Amino acid sequence: NAGVTQTPKFQVLKTGQSMTLQCAQDMNHNSMYWYRQDPGMGLRLIYYSASEGTTDKGEVPNGYNVSRLNKREFSLRLESAAPSQTSVYFCASRGTSGTSSYNEQFFGPGTRLTVL
């Protein structure tokens, strides 16, 4: 049981390049999330998916797109990377109401992205 996995762990991009951050969970959770963490700030929500087939914007969605490929996988895409997107990106998942995992969000290990 790996929990939430993210790939890659580190990435360096040049301005204007595109890339996709991958996230997968094996806990059969309905909800999945993408956050970014910047120095001196807490985690901020980029996009989320309340259930398979649905996605919604969070607090800071500009410059990003997401795909909920299936129940397990939720990817984050940067179409044209900018230096302002240099950050640590976390994926998280949460279980359904009535289960022990309803309240807690389980986080992946993070992806450290640098855009030059």
Partner 1 sequence: AQKITQTQPGMFVQEKEAVTLDCTYDTSDPSYGLFWYKQPSSGEMIFLIYQGSYDQQNATEGRYSLNFQKARKSANLVISASQLGDSAMYFCAMRDYTGANNLFFGTGTRLTVIP
Stretch that binds partner 1, among 12-20, 66-74, 79-87, 88-96 (CB under 8 A): 88-96
Interface with partner 1 (CB under 8 A), residue from 1, 10, 14, 40: 40
Residue 93 CB partners (closer than 8 Å, separation 6+):
4, 25, 27, 29, 31, 32, 33, 74, 105, 106
Stretch that binds partner 1, among 10-18, 21-29, 73-81, 85-93 (CB under 8 A): 85-93
Q: How far apart are CA 32 and CA 4, in angstroms?
A: 10
Strands 43-49 and 31-37: antiparallel
Q: Does 74 bind partner 1 (CB under 8 A)?
A: no
Residues that bind partner 1 (CB under 8 A): 31, 33, 40-45, 48, 50, 56, 58, 88, 90, 92, 94, 103-107, 109-110
